[in-house]
Amino acid sequence: MPYLHATGLALLALASVWYPCGADVGDFSPCLNFFYKSWPPKGLSGTPICQRYENQYRFASLYRRQRRSPVFSAYIYSQPEGKRPSSDWKFEPQLADATADGNMALFPPGVLDPNVVNSQAVKQDYHNTSFTRGHLNPSLHHETHTDRLSTFTLTNVVPQKEGSNNGPWEKLESAVNHTLGSYCVGEAYVVTGVIPYQEDVHWIKGHRVAVPEYLWSAYCCPKYNESILNAARLGEFFPTYAAIGRNDPNSTEEIVPIDRSSHKMFWGYDVKRMPLDTLEMYLKQRFGSVINVFYEKCLALR
Ligand X SMILES: *[C@@H]1O[C@H](CO)[C@@H](O)[C@H](O)[C@H]1NC(C)=O
Binding site for ligand X (CB under 6 A): 79-80, 124, 127-128, 174, 177-178, 181-182, 185, 225, 227-228, 248-250
**Residue placing its CB nearer to ligand X in the complex, 97 or 143:** 143
**Residue placing its CB nearer to ligand X in the complex, 39 or 267:** 267
CB of 298 to ligand X, least distance (A): 18
**Residue placing its CB nearer to ligand X in the complex, 36 or 269:** 269
**Residue placing its CB nearer to ligand X in the complex, 80 or 102:** 80
CB of 14 to ligand X, least distance (A): 43
CB of 160 to ligand X, least distance (A): 12
**Residue placing its CB nearer to ligand X in the complex, 5 or 83:** 83
CB of 268 to ligand X, least distance (A): 8
CB of 161 to ligand X, least distance (A): 7
Residue whose Cβ sits closest to ligand X: 181
Look at residues 282, 270, 278, 125 and name the one whose alpha carbon lies nearest to residue 211: 125
